[in-house]
Structure 1
């Protein structure tokens, strides 16, 4: 008696086709590399080449220097004043990557003037100068729109070879109550141009990471949009001022109103709505 498996019917999809359909749907909701398949015991050649290209893009994002002159013009065009540029104590990119501690300390802050504004904004190259160049002008404009009517904003400061904590020193020199550090995030193999915002209320040198709040993954169109990021920041600024501090005790409530509205629309449908 033969035990050979029955041949699939012509109208039945193969297991391979079913798997591709499954992974294809999931790929539409993530930038992660999932369901890459295989050729023998290795990845398909196209996926190997794509992985190498992504790795090269991530390396380029880390090492590509910020064009400070062009960037300064773009930031000045936002209308918050002419930005000044400061540097950390890291002499170059190689030292910056080897010595994170030097990236947290200022080399010279004489160009920074005291303003006494409510909010100071530091534009830091971080681990992806590419992200800062690509997204900071648009994000800064969104922050200006969201925050400008309620708070005074100091002229922005551009910081090179910078880590997040460098913003504390700059903020202390500006005399601001809250500092926002817009910084290029560490590139990955899916995204090389992601920008983050670190908020510190009552900043001063020595603040710990637990005393900050972070809004990350800002890189439209695939990540958080400038408008949404600015809205979250506005909620955090208001919360920090009410609480008297930022950090682990401060939570994002920017979506509370929209969730409440959604619940109201379910409980009390608008006239003519059939549930």
Structure 2
């Protein structure tokens, strides 16, 4: 975290991506046909207005394999900053004006992982580009592979060492442009109005590929299956879950 930058920034200015000590991975299951409705509303109304309260909207995505899943990431400078920002936004006029329309698109919005960078600098490579102007439609370039590794216990130093020296280099040699790593934040949820998943431990890897074909080529290659998966298996409680994510037109996280 850059103390000098934080000291000179306006108190409500959002943290930069690498200053986000707390990150939420939010997966929303939507009613059929409602994803683009929510994305249009979200990208128009809920990006700058959230960031005005001191949080960072890191990226928002369509799941390429599930047409009714909307996924997004937001970050905070600390747990205290998270509570303050969420209280301000969800108690403010923008959410009051648009919450009924947003909630009408959703079946479930409680699939949320509360995370922190897996080690100092683990998310420093996460790119944050200038956003397209409000009203932009379609998709931003690239695809993000978000893999949730479900762990038997909290991430150990040995696992994180394996991640840094085996998992990350394999992804980068396989075509990932940038990779970021997060693990479970175990602090109590201080904004219980928005539930988070509790009682589990995960490691999250975010890998940005320039094209969907590049991700497919990596998925079908052998280095991960032979060089990573066997060594990783003892730490896992169950099979990893990979989301193939297409950035929306206004996502700051894209290729």
Question: What TM-score, normalized to structure 2?
Answer: 0.27
Higher helix residue share: 1
Higher relative strand content: 2
TM-score scaled by length of structure 1: 0.25
